[in-house]
Amino acid sequence: MSEGATTSTASQELADAPARSLPAPPDLPAGPRGPRATIRIPRRYLIGGVAAVLALVSIVALVQGSPGPERATIETFSGRGVSLTYLSTLHRVPGGNLDGLDVAQMTLAVADAGDATWREVFAMGGSDLVVLLGRDASYLVDETNVAAYQASVLERYRAASIEAPRMKPTSVDRLPALAAVSKGTTPSGADVQIRATEIFNGSAAYVLVCQAASGRRAELMAACESILRSVRIEPRRPTAGWGTLASATHDVRLSVPPGWDAADTVQAGTKVAASLAAAAEGTTAARVEVATVRLRHPVPTTLYADVIADRMKRYLVGRHEATVDGRPAQMLRFEDEDAGGIFYVLVDGRTAYAVRFDIPIGNRSFVLLRPTMDAIAASLQLR
């Protein structure tokens, strides 16, 4: 528990204590200026108060500094869909270059991620730095599945026999985010604390990584917290930047996130297909295809879904309303011992369309990929 939290708790305990539990002060003789009493403050409260004052003084000193040329100023970074402010004690490194900095391997695992599309670096010293990077997400993360995403990341650490960081869901600029704190050792032998915050904005993800050695840890982490509070991210559609698949006859179009590779060939009755390989950030493998069935007579979508659910009721584990091509549709979820299948069904005239996903079995995979599957199915366009 932090010193500030200790002081707050102690103050509350004093406020809540019954008056009768406090001893009455002794009677003191009146002086020329009237009665005067000495109040003895418990040592633990005094220490907390002093710590709070020292923290306030250090923050003021950090911003105001001395009247000399080293006075810190507020700087602004804006670009790539994100803006933030930072103290000039952090120096922006041209080109986002990490060469010459004392960077721990755990920091490199995030800050030098292979799927990063860009990177900005701000250094306070060789082992004290802040890295901001962006990447195109292969699936959507929002409030409904951020916990499932957290579980998948922790599983990746366990599979690699790496000590997992402490993680918790949070929010930055009213967007879902995931915060992680871990430890590392730099090539020079410095023990560092690493704080990474991943912010999700549709198919775009922003990661802020802060690495601090013990000597300037309080200063660097305070600067990192200030940066996080200042972050502003431009609004965008969840499917912005997605690619589009088109059938051979161009009567079916479907949008998919980055990282979903279109199939070179498709089977008869399948219009388009794409697959997602298991990625470094913990994605489960998945596949999507749009299949069509010619009906003898037009039927309502719900009736057609009823027939499918009845014929496959042995494997049916869930059913929900959905939207496909801007129209009401039905989602059917099936599972057997080996795989899971999610069908988004829509009947248009005498043709039934099914946006089908093949994903690993288990509720975690379903919850993790649900926002992405909903968005892909909703993107279907029929001519």
Can you give the pLDDT at residue 71? 78
Are residues 182 and 279 part of one domain? no
d(CA 126, CA 107): 13
Residues 6+ apart with CB under 8 A from 240: 202, 203, 204
Assign residue 264 a region: left if phi > 0, alpha if psi is -120 to 50, beta otherwise? Answer: alpha
Domain that holds residue 55: 3-29+40-64
Give yes or no for a contact between 184 and 194, defined as CB atoms under 8 angstroms apart.
yes
Are residues 15 and 112 part of one domain? no
d(CA 43, CA 31): 28
Task: With respect to residue 58, please indicate whether it lies within any of the assigned structural domains.
Answer: yes
How confident is the prediction for the chain on average, in pLDDT?
82
Task: With respect to residue 69, please indicate whether it lies within any of the assigned structural domains.
Answer: no
* Counted domains in the chain: 3
Can you give the pLDDT at residue 70? 58
Q: How confident is the model at residue 104 (pLDDT cuts 50, 70, 90)?
A: very high
Are residues 53 and 136 part of one domain? no
Can you give the pLDDT at residue 375? 97
Give the least confident one: 213-217, 265-269, 302-306. Answer: 265-269
| pLDDT of residue 14 exceeding 70 | no
Q: pTM of the prediction?
A: 0.77
Are residues 212 and 259 part of one domain? no
Give the least confident one: 63-67, 85-89, 102-106, 315-319. Answer: 63-67
Can you give the pLDDT at residue 284? 62
Are residues 218 and 269 part of one domain? no
- Residues 268-300: tens digit of each pLDDT: 889 999 999 875 444 567 999 999 999 999 999
Are residues 131 and 18 part of one domain? no
- Residues 308-324: tens digit of each pLDDT: 999 999 999 999 999 99
Q: How confident is the model at residue 159 (pLDDT cuts 50, 70, 90)?
A: confident
Task: With respect to residue 35, please indicate whether it lies within any of the assigned structural domains.
Answer: no
